[in-house]
Amino acid sequence: CGEIYNKYTLPPKTESICDKCGAEIKFEQRSDDNEETLKSRLDTYEKNAKPIIKYYKKKKLMRKINAENTLELTEKDIKKILEV
């Protein structure tokens, strides 16, 4: 049926059984879900994103939002910055 699960953060109620249709679930791991790929992505971030962040901070165009808050508080903070 296409229902999406994560065996760690969004598991089905009954192990290996789809909550929606009752079919057996076979968990698959992405081929790029490994330590080497993670290191490569972090390297790319360091190379590309950090200079951009530094640039916008220098121009005083960078704003920080605490996304560990509730969704409602995070949304409120974003709207406040955007003056919505």
The pLDDT profile of the chain, 84 residues, written as one tens digit per residue, is: 889 998 889 999 999 999 999 999 988 888 998 999 999 999 999 999 999 999 999 999 999 999 999 999 999 999 999 997
**What pLDDT is recorded for position 30?**
87
Domain span at 75: 35-82
The answer to whether 22 touches 3, Cβ cutoff 8 Å, is no
Distance from C-alpha of 65 to C-alpha of 84, rounded to nearest angstrom: 16
**What pLDDT is recorded for position 29?**
84
| 39 and 78 fall within a common domain | yes
| 40 and 26 fall within a common domain | no
**What pLDDT is recorded for position 61?**
93
Distance from C-alpha of 9 to C-alpha of 7, rounded to nearest angstrom: 6
| 76 and 47 fall within a common domain | yes
State pTM to two decimals. 0.50
**What pLDDT is recorded for position 84?**
78
